[in-house]
Amino acid sequence: MGCRVRRARADNPQATSRVQGGGGPRATRGCQATERKGERVPPKTDPSPAEPTGPLRPAEPREDAEPAASPTTAGPTARAAAPAARATAAGDTGRTAAAEGAGAAGIDGAGRPAGEDGAGPAPGEGAGPAHGEGAGPGAEEGAGDGPSPLRVLLGYVRPHRAALFSGALLSLVTGATGLALPLVARRLIDNLSEDRPIATALVLMSLLVAGNAVLGALGGYVLQRTAESVVLTARKSLTSWLLRLRISAVDGTEPGDLLSRATSDTTLLRAMTVQTLIGFGTGGLTLLATLVMMGFVDLVLLAVTLGVIGLAATVIGLIVPRISKASKRAQQSVGRMGAVLERVLGALRTVKASGAERREERAVHAAAEDSWRESVRSAKWSALAGNTAGLSMQVAFITVLAVGGARVATDSIEVGSLVAFLLYVFYLMAPIQQVVSAVTQYQVGAAAISRIQEVRRLPAEPGALDAAPLPEAGAAPAAVAFLDVRFRYGPEQPYVHHGVSFTVPPRGMTAFVGPSGAGKTTVFSLVERFYDATSGRVLVDGRDVRDWPLAELRSAIGYVEQDAPVLSGTLRENLVFGAPDTGEEALAEALRTTRLDGLVARLPEGLDTVVGHRGTKLSGGERQRVAIARALLRRPRLLLLDEATSQLDAVNEAALRETVAEVARETTVLVVAHRLSTVTSADRIVVMDTGRVLAVGTHAELLAASPLYAELATTQFLATADLA
């Protein structure tokens, strides 16, 4: 295939770096020579506002908390919490808080996850980021002062409040059955010492024990199920938001990091729901009820117990911030590890071809070791907090035994009362552990929520996710116009369009030519409204693209990107991706016109052949033809082809050129082209350079009127065409 000569320009560092090989695949693909042209006008750094990109902030922490209460003494809350905490401590260590970046919220001002069903942000619910045009400012506001993690959690919990309430109630009833047990035990002992029958007390005790077990198991199941539902709500809500993100927002993120937030971070909500919300509620209530019951038995012993608990609470209060700090660092390290891994796996061939495996391995291992170090530190403080609570109960038990023994000796209380009180001390262990666990787990969950919110603060596109119906067969072709469009990719970026203007009437083929970095692909991005023009207007059918319902605008367009991305899945899934209702006949026709029918016939599974991640099992040219067929199947009113045939051999390219020429008779076709053959047959050619339109005309007109076009035609295009 042909090699294009591309210019490196001193006035456009981005373009220069791309040409020199530092700027991505396009810069180097098929290119062997660069040409410096110093007289171009430097882009102005105009301070007018641009679309905010919602920068991500450093990754937030994760924390692991030990399961709190012993299953024998705890209610369903603690039992439900145990697996949740285990998941946190074990499985969740795999959460890749990839990139260190992040930044965003979600959840509306009241902490609601947008969309009651959790399936996504409901329009009008005001899910944090402003929609559409105003998404940027909305995203910037409150970037650091969104609703508290607790409010956000309550928002996710709201749709499941009935189930959660039932679980909590079961948990409380279980606790109550446990609390009644010492009283029955006291009666049993008293009856024994006074030679009264004990059968009733024994039956009652058995019923209480059995009831405790059954209700405990049921409550545990209900709570665990509810916690999973909370995770589901958060996941649906977050993934819906991810799919709505503006391209400009995604430009500034690490996909691996976003992935980890939607999977691992949301998982942490499970433990948070059970341990923090329910644990604190039921644990706190059970603790209070136990203390009240203890007060009924003996106030002096209660005072002794409270003294010991107060001491332990002070020590734990000093430990908790250390857990939080260590966990934050551990999470950041896991994030670094994820970022490096994603980089490696995303370009494994390049890593191998560059012999960089060892270097990358060292980077991944260093991050993993950092994470290990901090996790161990966090585990140390967590263990200390848990043990402090446990130790305090043992101290309380011994102290109560000593003080209580003395009181029995002085006939201040009965033996039965002492035994009952000691049983209460024993029962106190579970709620205290629950409360301690709730506090530590809150730190973990709060970090996860803050990472989820960071994503939800990124600007999203307006409207619903549903696609609009595709144009009917024979629908009128679209007209396109740019009116003095200025555009830059971000406030810190240089302008890439400096007042671009051109008009494309319905039907026919319009080719965009110009040196690398001239802004040709950007034209297509603005038509698709992946970005909004900073100033000026982009019109489709005479209507500003910002006034179009986005889904309707895009349904009118077929777009073949420069890289012709193919998604993992089967060939058929890829072909009908943009038009899922495509019939077999239309599919066969598209295969024929894009000359894919031969490939399908060769493949053992035909259209149902799996093409691999990013279509790695297809050749570059096959991928391009799949992308073209996919666009054609949408019956677009406007077809955008961005160097769509650059990887095709001469025979396929000629065939596709004929197909496109045929399509252009009924549809408006815009094509970014580098082959002279494509350009000469175009109805009009727009010559661009450094973000400006230099000339518009036919090949013959431009050869005479545009020095740049003449230069391109006699060097790059001719060279390309000759080689092709």
Ligand X SMILES: Nc1ncnc2c1ncn2[C@@H]1O[C@H](COP(=O)(O)OP(=O)(O)OP(=O)(O)O)[C@@H](O)[C@H]1O
Tally Cβ neighbours within 10 Å of residue 47.
7
**Nearest residue (CB) to ligand X, 430 versus 641:** 641
What ranges in 245-274 are assigned the alpha helix state H? 247-251, 255-260, 266-271
**Nearest residue (CB) to ligand X, 246 versus 595:** 246
d(CA 456, CA 450): 10
Helices (H) and strands (E) counted in the chain, each on its own, are 26, 12
**Nearest residue (CB) to ligand X, 3 versus 586:** 3
Q: Does 534 bind ligand X (CB under 6 A)?
A: no
Q: Does 177 bind ligand X (CB under 6 A)?
A: no
3-state SS, residue 245: strand
**Nearest residue (CB) to ligand X, 186 versus 674:** 674
Binding range to ligand X, per CB under 6 A, among 132-140, 326-334, 467-475, 512-520: 512-520
d(CA 346, CA 343): 5
Least CB distance to ligand X at residue 150 (A): 37
Please tell me the chain's helix, strand, coil percentages from 3-state DSSP, rounded to the nearest 5: 60, 10, 30
In the set 3, 14, 384, 501, which binds ligand X (CB under 6 A)?
14
Least CB distance to ligand X at residue 131 (A): 22
Q: How far is it between the farthest Cα atoms of the chain?
A: 122
Cα angle value 476/679/28 (rounded, 5°): 115
Q: Does 482 bind ligand X (CB under 6 A)?
A: no
Binders of ligand X among residues 274 to 293 (CB under 6 A) are: none
DSSP 144-191: S----HHHHHHHHHGGGHHHHHHHHHHHHHHHHHHHHHHHHHHHHHHH
Binders of ligand X among residues 570 to 609 (CB under 6 A) are: none
Q: Does 73 bind ligand X (CB under 6 A)?
A: no
**Nearest residue (CB) to ligand X, 263 versus 501:** 501
d(CA 8, CA 516): 8
Binding range to ligand X, per CB under 6 A, among 160-168, 277-285, 468-476, 516-524: 516-524
Q: Does 26 bind ligand X (CB under 6 A)?
A: yes
In the set 238, 367, 403, 496, which binds ligand X (CB under 6 A)?
496
Binding range to ligand X, per CB under 6 A, among 140-148, 196-204, 520-528, 607-615: 520-528
Q: Does 522 bind ligand X (CB under 6 A)?
A: yes
Binding range to ligand X, per CB under 6 A, among 13-21, 74-82, 410-418, 547-555: 13-21
In the set 118, 519, 615, 636, which binds ligand X (CB under 6 A)?
519
Least CB distance to ligand X at residue 663 (A): 22
In the set 493, 503, 570, 715, which binds ligand X (CB under 6 A)?
493
Main-chain dihedrals φ then ψ at residue 309, nearest 5 degrees: -65, -40
Least CB distance to ligand X at residue 370 (A): 31
**Nearest residue (CB) to ligand X, 9 versus 270:** 9
Q: Does 520 bind ligand X (CB under 6 A)?
A: yes
Q: Does 34 bind ligand X (CB under 6 A)?
A: no
Binding range to ligand X, per CB under 6 A, among 163-171, 235-243, 465-473, 511-519: 511-519
Least CB distance to ligand X at residue 715 (A): 15
- Find, among 477, 401, 495, 494, the residue nearest to 664 by Cα: 477
Tally Cβ neighbours within 10 Å of residue 537.
16
**Nearest residue (CB) to ligand X, 578 versus 691:** 691
Distance of CA 153 to the CA centre of its chain: 17
Least CB distance to ligand X at residue 546 (A): 19
3-state SS, residue 672: strand
Binders of ligand X among residues 616 to 635 (CB under 6 A) are: none
**Nearest residue (CB) to ligand X, 541 versus 689:** 689
686 torsion bin: left (phi>0), alpha (psi -120 to 50), beta (else):
beta
Least CB distance to ligand X at residue 649 (A): 21
Residue whose tokens read 């062997």? 32
Residues 136 and 534: beta-carbon distance below 8 Å:
no
Distance of CA 383 to the CA centre of its chain: 32
Q: Does 489 bind ligand X (CB under 6 A)?
A: yes
Q: Does 518 bind ligand X (CB under 6 A)?
A: yes
Site size toward ligand X (CB under 6 A) is 17
- Strands in 495-504's sheet, in edge-to-edge order, are 495-504, 480-488, 535-540, 543-544
3-state SS, residue 46: coil
Tally Cβ neighbours within 10 Å of residue 449.
31
Least CB distance to ligand X at residue 539 (A): 19
**Nearest residue (CB) to ligand X, 498 versus 595:** 498
Q: How many residues does the chain have?
A: 724
Burial class of residue 359, CB neighbours in 10 A (0-12, 13-18, 19+): exposed
d(CA 151, CA 110): 7
In the set 8, 15, 337, 713, which binds ligand X (CB under 6 A)?
15
463 torsion bin: left (phi>0), alpha (psi -120 to 50), beta (else):
left
**Nearest residue (CB) to ligand X, 15 versus 153:** 15
**Nearest residue (CB) to ligand X, 12 versus 392:** 12
- Per DSSP, what are the bridge partners of residue 487? 497
Least CB distance to ligand X at residue 674 (A): 7
- Find, among 493, 532, 487, 450, the residue nearest to 56 by Cα: 450
Residues 572 and 605: beta-carbon distance below 8 Å:
no
Least CB distance to ligand X at residue 13 (A): 8
In the set 388, 521, 582, 706, which binds ligand X (CB under 6 A)?
521
Least CB distance to ligand X at residue 533 (A): 13
Element housing 687 (H / E):
strand 684-689
Least CB distance to ligand X at residue 611 (A): 25
Binding range to ligand X, per CB under 6 A, among 94-102, 132-140, 463-471, 510-518: 510-518
Binding mask 358-377 for ligand X (x = CB under 6 A): --------------------
Q: Does 716 bind ligand X (CB under 6 A)?
A: no
Binding range to ligand X, per CB under 6 A, among 12-20, 132-140, 409-417, 439-447: 12-20
Binding range to ligand X, per CB under 6 A, among 125-133, 452-460, 514-522, 590-598: 514-522
Binding range to ligand X, per CB under 6 A, among 222-230, 503-511, 513-521, 546-554: 513-521
Q: Is the sign of the CA dihedral 575, 581, 585, 586 positive or negative? A: negative
Binding range to ligand X, per CB under 6 A, among 190-198, 342-350, 488-496, 598-606: 488-496
DSSP 435-493: HHHHHHHHHHHHHHHHHHHHHHHS-B-SS-SPPPPPPPTTPPPP-EEEEEEEEESSTTS
Binders of ligand X among residues 644 to 683 (CB under 6 A) are: none
In the set 159, 459, 517, 578, which binds ligand X (CB under 6 A)?
517
Least CB distance to ligand X at residue 18 (A): 6
In the set 125, 140, 251, 597, which binds ligand X (CB under 6 A)?
251
499 torsion bin: left (phi>0), alpha (psi -120 to 50), beta (else):
left
Using CB under 6 A as the criterion, which residues of the chain lie in contact with ligand X when the complex forms?
Answer: 12, 14-15, 18, 26, 251, 489, 493, 496, 514, 516-522
